[in-house]
Amino acid sequence: MSSALQALAEERSVEHPLLDAVTIARLINRAHGGPVISAWQVDELDDTWVNVFVGMYEELPKARARQRLIKQKHKEFEASHPNYGKYGTQRH
């Protein structure tokens, strides 16, 4: 356990079932705004529910950030294009 905690302290990835359960319980509790599950109860959850919470509260924010970056780069391209402002924004 101490080597896994040391790896976390060094911001390296760790695969440890107990630490994974703690992380998932914290994520679910944060999503609900208060304590609804303990780490030792995580194994009782259906994998579908775990995937929903991980997707909604870890993967979705990352996907939204990527979309914002894409839109920002697109706007930067539009602004840098010499003719886009004249012709590209007109709708026919």
pLDDT digits (tens, 9 = 90+) for 10-30: 767 777 788 889 889 999 998
According to the model, what pLDDT value does residue 50 have? 87
Is the pLDDT at 8 greater than 90? The verdict is no
pLDDT digits (tens, 9 = 90+) for 39-57: 999 999 999 988 888 888 8
pTM for this predicted structure: 0.58
Token pair in block for residue 49: 């529910």
CA distance 4 to 1: 5
Is the pLDDT at 66 greater than 90? The verdict is yes
Q: For residue 60, give Cα distances in angstroms to 28, 29, 52, 56, 64.
A: 15, 17, 10, 5, 6
According to the model, what pLDDT value does residue 88 have? 53
Q: 39, 25 in Cβ contact below 8 A?
A: yes
CA distance 61 to 27: 13
